[in-house]
Amino acid sequence: MTRVWFIVFIGFAGTACLLSLGKWQIDRLHWKTDLLEKIDQKITEVPVILPAKPNEDDHKYLSVEILGQYTGESIRVLASRKHYGAGYRIISVFQTNQRRLLVDQGFVGLENTYDVSLAGDISLLGNLHWPDEVDTFTPTPDLKNNIWFARDVERIASFLRTEPVLLILKDSSLKDKNITPMPIDTSHIPNDHLQYALTWFSLAIIWALMSCLFVWTTRRKRL
């Protein structure tokens, strides 16, 4: 009898633990859904002027409008585009009101040439962003061939002598149509909490059923 009660205890405790993990994932799902809605709202807000001192905590995803000129300086970041394949993100220097900023103009295929020059002042619409793409496995930039492997805002800004501010264009501002804008959205932010919750709840059901089966077979052996 002691063994049966021990199995019952283990079954109950395990099921309760798995159910609590599933509930935690449901709570995370609500939190993430609310966060994504706020980010989407921020992305699509009416553009404002560029803050004097943009920072990630206060201004990430902020919709802004700037007026100025491309300087012709740019770097290439190795990237891929869905349904296309490999290519580069073109990040160029843009000067506005004596300030030098970074502008992510969009994607160009590996085999395509591009021209980042544009005479005269131009107005740009985009969103401020500080991508989290750098880790311990990120290769060192190939400066000889002007190829970078992540949008490391601080390092790129230091290399191109700009403020550590990156604007992701909402639409094309170039005469070169080989560059396709890649406006920022929330598709890159994972929200898999529902799948995780279903996994935990499924495991809880399996654990409970296996515990019941184990208790039943144990009792039958004693009869």
Tens digit of each residue's pLDDT (9 = 90 or more) over 102-112:
999 999 988 87
Whole-angstrom Cα distance, residue 42 to residue 44?
6
Q: At what angle do helices 193-222 and 2-43 cross, to 10 degrees?
A: 170
Give the residue-averaged pLDDT of 121-147: 91
Given a cut of 70, is residue 63 above it in pLDDT? yes
Q: Are strands 166-169 and 147-148 parallel, antiparallel or unpaired?
A: unpaired
pLDDT at 175 over 80: no
Query: Is 29's pLDDT higher than 70?
Result: yes
Query: Does position 143 have pLDDT exceeding 90, yes or no?
Result: yes
Instruction: Tally Cβ neighbours within 10 Å of residue 8.
Output: 14
Q: What global pTM score does this model have? A: 0.78
Sequence-ordered alpha helix ranges (H) in the chain = 2-43, 56-59, 153-160, 193-222
The mean pLDDT of 116-138, rounded to a whole number, is 85
User: Does residue 47 carry a pLDDT above 70?
Assistant: yes
Average pLDDT for residues 54-76, to the nearest whole number?
92
Average pLDDT score, the chain: 87
Nearest of 189, 185, 196 to residue 28 by alpha carbon: 196
Burial class for 94, CB neighbours closer than 10 Å (0-12, 13-18, 19+)? buried
Q: Are 198 and 1 in contact (CB under 8 A)?
A: no
Q: In degrees rounded to 5, what are phi and psi of residue 57? A: -65, -40
